[in-house]
Chain A
Amino acid sequence: MITFEGAAKLYPDGTVAVDDLNLTVETGQTTVFVGPSGSGKTTSLRMVNRMVEPTRGTVLIDGEDVRRRDPAALRRSIGYVIQQAGLFPHRTVRDNIATVPLLLGWGRARARARATELMELVGLEPSQARRYPHQLSGGQQQRVGVARALAADPPVLLMDEPFSAVDPVVRAGLQDELLRLQQELRKTIVFVTHDIDEAVRLGDRIAVFRPGGRLAQYDSPERLLAEPCDAFVESFVGYDRGVRRLSFFPARELSLREDVVFEDATGADRAAEALRGENEPWALVVSADRLPLGWAAAAQLDRAPAGTALGALDLAPYGHTFDVATDSLRAALDAAVLSPAGRAVGVDTDGRVVGVVSQEDLGTALWSVTT
C-alpha cells in the first residue's frame, strides 16, 4: 500500500507541480495516474522512489515514510519502467535485465539465470539474450524494460508512460501482456499515462489529475466513466464515455434470437415463411456445423425460385462477430453497427453461432443495464 499524505511539490520559481495530494494506492492493484501534461502525475509517481522529494507532506509505503530509507536501497526494491525503456546501449538484453540483481550483489550466474527466466515471462525469444538494444524494435525494447523492472521481484512497480512511444498496434499488444502479467504477479503498480483509454483498459483504480497538480477524481474506471465529478473530468474522459462504459457490461446477458438462424441446406421458401411470421427482414445463414456464412434479406428470399437452398444464394457478409462468453456490450454494439443487416452475430469460443441481436434489441438492453 502506498499512501500520499498531503504531498506537494513546489519549485523555487513558484511553479506548483503537485498540490496537496492525498491518495492511497492499494496493494496488488494497478492504479493509473492520468491527466494532461503539467498535471503533476509523473512528479507524483517519482515521489514514491524519491526521484523527486516532496516539498511538503509525506509518501509512505506500507506505513513507512520513504524518506527514512536510503534512496538507492529504496529504488532497488521498486521496479521502474520509463518511456522508451531507457535501456543501456552498451549492455546486452540479458545484462540490461540483470542490472538490479547485480546491484543487489546476487552474483553474475544467478543474475543471468534470473534474466533468462524473465525474458520468457515477458515473451522474448531466448535468442535475443545476447542482442543489443539498438537491434530490437520499440515494442521489444519496452518488454526488456518491463523485464528489467521485474528482475529483483519488487512488490511495487512504477511505470512512467511506458507505452507512449510505440505505435497503437504494438501498444495494444503490450497492454494485453501487462494485464496478463498482472493477473499472474499481482504487483502494486502505479502507471502514469495521458491516454484515458489506456487508463480505463489497465487500471483497477484511476486518479485523474488536473493542471496545477491537483487530484480531480479517484475512482474505479467504471464509476469514472459513469459519473465524472465535474466538467474538467467529463471533458478529459471524452465525449464517447457512454459507449466506452459499455466495456464493463458483459455480452452474455443479452438475449439472442435463434429463430432467424438457418442452415445453408434449408430451402429459401421455408426461411422466407419464417421471417414473414416474425416480421424480420434478415436471415442468418450458417453451415452444418453452425459457422456463420452470411445474411439473406427477406426480399431476396421471396424472389428466389422454388426449391433453392439458402447456401446457393448471394449472401451479404456477416461482418465481425462477438464472443458471447467473453466480450462486452461494447463489442456487441460495434458488431451490430458495422453489420450490413444492422444485426450482430454472437458466437461461442469455437466461432459457432449462438444467435443474433438487432440494434433495437441492443438498445433496449443498454437502457436496462446503464440506468
Chain B
Amino acid sequence: MEILNDLFAWFADPAQWTGSSGIPARMGEHVYYSLLGLLWSAAIAIPLGLLTGHTGVGGFLTASLANLARALPTIGVLFLIVLAAGIGLVPVLCALVALAVPPILVNTHEGVRGVEPRLRDAAFGMGMRGHQVLLRLELPVAVPLILLGARTAAVQVVATATIAAYVGVGGLGRYIVDGQARQDLTMMLAGSLLVVLLAVLTTLLFAGLRRLLVAPGLRAEAAAVR
C-alpha cells in the first residue's frame, strides 16, 4: 500500500509538471519520437507492401526480411547504430523503424494479396490500368488490414521509445533509466505507468482512425475477420 501512496505523492508533486524534465516535456518527446518512427515506418512499409502485393513479386523476400527484422533485438540495433552514427535521434529512429516496419509491411502485402481474384478480374475487365486497380480497388480493400498492422506497430513503438533515454535524448524512458540508477522504485513505476497510458491512448487513436479510413462497406466484413 505504501507504494501507492508514494506513487500518488510523486504525481502530486508540482515539480514533476514543469520544466524541461517535467512530465509534459517528457511526454512530448516520447510522442514525438514515436510518431516520427511510425511515420517513417509507414512511409517505407506501405508503398513497398503495396508494390509486392500488387505485382506478386518479392512476396517471399518481404516475408523473410520481415521475420528476420522481428528477430532483431531492438537494444542491439540501437547500440550498433550508436557505434556507427553516434549519439542522437538517428539511432533511436532506426531502432524504432526496424521494429515497426515488419508488421506494417506484412499486413499491407497480405491485405493486397487477399483481394479476391474475381474483384481484380472485374477491375481489369472494366478497363482499369494497373495503378488504377491498385489505388481504386486493392488499397481501399486492404486498409483494414494495414491499419491493424500499423496499430500493432504503434503500440510496440510507444513501448519501445523508452530506449531513447539510453542514448540521452529524453522521453518517458528517462524516468525508468534514472529511477534504475537511483534505485528509485517509485520513479520507475511512475514512468512505466505513463508509457502504459500512452499505449492505451494509441489503441484508442487507432479505433478512431478505423472509423475514419475504412469504407463503411468494408466494416462489416472486416469485423468478421478480426
Interface residues of A (CB under 8 A from B): 49, 51, 71-77, 80, 82-84, 86-92, 99-100, 103, 132-134, 148
Contacts and interface: CB of A to CB of B under 8 A. Distances in A.
A138 to B, nearest CB: 14
A333 to B, nearest CB: 41
B6 interface: no
B217 A103 contact: no
A132 B129 contact: no
Contacts of A77: 127
B119 to A, nearest CB: 6
Interface in B187-219: 215-218
B44 interface: no
A73 B124 CA distance: 11
Contact of B127 (A75, A89, A90, A91): A75
Given A72-B129, A87-B122, A89-B119, 18 more contacts: A51-B121, A73-B127, A75-B127, A80-B125, A83-B118, A86-B116, A88-B123, A89-B141, A89-B215, A90-B140, A90-B218, A91-B217, A92-B217, A99-B126, A132-B215, A132-B216, A132-B217, A148-B126
Contact of B124 (A75, A87, A91, A92): A75
Nearest to B143: A90
B223 to A, nearest CB: 11
B64 interface: no
B4 interface: no
B111 to A, nearest CB: 12
A176 B178 CA distance: 79
Given A89-B218, A91-B215, A51 B124 contact: yes
A103 B215 contact: no
A87 to B, nearest CB: 8
Given A51-B124, A88-B137, A134 B221 contact: yes
Nearest to B123: A88
Interface residues of B, number: 23
Interface of B: 116, 118-119, 121-129, 132, 136-137, 140-141, 215-218, 220-221
Contacts, number: 68
A351 to B, nearest CB: 44
Contacts of A49: 125
Contact of B221 (A71, A82, A89): A89
B126 A133 contact: no
Interface-centre pick from A51, A76, A82, A89 (highest chain B CB count, 10 A): A89
Contact of B215 (A51, A73, A90): A90
A89 B128 contact: no
Contacts of B217: 89-92, 132-134
A330 B116 CA distance: 43
A77 B128 CA distance: 12
Contact of B128 (A51, A72, A92, A132): A72
Contact of A103 (B122, B132, B141): B132
A103 B128 contact: yes
B121 A76 contact: no
A88 B125 contact: no
Contacts of B122: 80, 82, 86-88
B221 A76 contact: no
Nearest to B144: A90
B65 to A, nearest CB: 29
A100 B122 CA distance: 11
A30 B164 CA distance: 70
Contacts of A148: 126
A103 B126 contact: yes
